[in-house]
Amino acid sequence: MKNIVILISGGGSNMAAIVKTAKKQDWATRLNAQVAAVISNRAEATGLLWAKKQGIDSASIDHKAFDSREAFDQALMQRIDAYSPSLVVLAGFMRILTPGFVAHYAGRLINIHPSLLPAFAGLHTHQRAIDAGCKFAGATVHQVTAELDVGPILAQAVVPILEADTEANLAARVLTQEHLIYPDTIAKLLTSN
């Protein structure tokens, strides 16, 4: 069975969309794949509780308990590697990862970012798109490389920016699209692996 490990920091709605799609599309039988674990750097991440209720292994490793990024990433790697994952999925995981971590999972580490990369890497993507007068926003699924939000693009969804858009309602519309393209991209990657 191919294991997927999902990393979250908060609500985990992308993680939930992946878990629900895996169930609906019967990835276990069709793709020989399962979401094996959900890990958060924040114990209070509400997504962790949801995952636990689904019977998925859930754990938190508090980044604040470590002296350095390297030490945290080592502990995280150790926990992830217990599942020998085919794919490590960042789903709202709000930590910058060390080059060592990224190299360790080269080719099997993906992220979703709430903008049409290469535009608006980093934070506050929706407000920045509105402020720039963009007519379209969106989301990007990409391979993770050592440079933040720069790896090869696997999928994108485009969402029009409306006259009356606020950061919050644009984010909500983009998130709805994220919930479609992320599971879809993962299924494609698992099929081609």
Q: Does residue 109 bind ligand GAR (CB under 6 A)?
A: no
- Residue 22: both structure tokens together: 């895996």
Shortest distance, position 115 Cβ to ligand GAR, whole Å: 8
Residues in region 40-79 near ligand GAR by CB under 6 A: none
Q: Does residue 151 bind ligand GAR (CB under 6 A)?
A: no
* Diameter of the chain measured on Cα atoms: 48
Single out the residue of 68, 156, 62, 61 nearest to residue 118, CA to CA: 156
- Residue 125: both structure tokens together: 């993507």
* Nearest residue (beta carbon) to ligand GAR: 92
- Residue 177: both structure tokens together: 């699209």
- Residue 144: both structure tokens together: 């993770």
Q: Does residue 114 bind ligand GAR (CB under 6 A)?
A: yes
Q: Does residue 21 bind ligand GAR (CB under 6 A)?
A: no
113 part of the active site: yes
DSSP 75: H
What residue ranges bind ligand GAR (CB under 6 A)?
A: 8, 10-14, 91-92, 112-114, 139, 175, 178
